[in-house]
């Protein structure tokens, strides 16, 4: 019983989401900067936490700074994704309006 349930709810790899979102990702201008910023913040966050808590060589300001950097890049990425989505929707609406036959 347990094995069949886990097979039902197990995540499966899907290429469809990547193909669907590739049009939106094309409208995001600074993908590399966002990825690099999130990567650096993600790697340095546990390092700063360790330095602050265990050897005592860091302080809370370093850890707080890393959380601010991570949140900045995270929110910036969400904002760019939403802007690209809205821009794509606007282009699709304009395309549909141009190709709509006139009813006279």
How far apart CA 38 and CA 73 sit, in angstroms, is: 6
Q: What pTM does this model have?
A: 0.63
Phi and psi at residue 44, to the nearest 5°: -80, -20
* pLDDT per residue as tens digits for the range 11-63: 665 666 556 566 666 666 777 888 888 888 888 888 887 887 787 777 778 87
* 3-class secondary-structure state, position 67: helix
Whether the predicted pLDDT of 1 surpasses 70 = no
Average pLDDT over residues 73-89: 90
How far apart CA 31 and CA 36 sit, in angstroms, is: 9
Residue 76, class by beta-carbon neighbours within 10 Å (0-12 exposed, 13-18 middle, 19+ buried)? middle
Whether the predicted pLDDT of 5 surpasses 60 = no
pLDDT band at 96 (very low <50, low <70, confident <90, very high): confident
């Amino acid at each position: 019983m347990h094995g069949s349930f886990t097979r039902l709810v197990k995540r499966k790899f899907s290429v469809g989401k990547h193909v669907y979102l590739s049009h939106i990702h094309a409208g995001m201008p600074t993908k590399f900067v966002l990825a690099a910023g999130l990567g650096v913040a993600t790697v340095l966050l546990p390092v700063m936490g360790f330095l602050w808590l265990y050897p005592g060589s860091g302080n809370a300001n370093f850890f707080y700074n890393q959380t601010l950097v991570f949140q900045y890049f995270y929110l910036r990425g969400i904002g760019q994704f939403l802007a690209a989505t809205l821009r794509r929707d606007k282009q699709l609406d304009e395309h549909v309006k141009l190709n709509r036959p006139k009813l006279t």
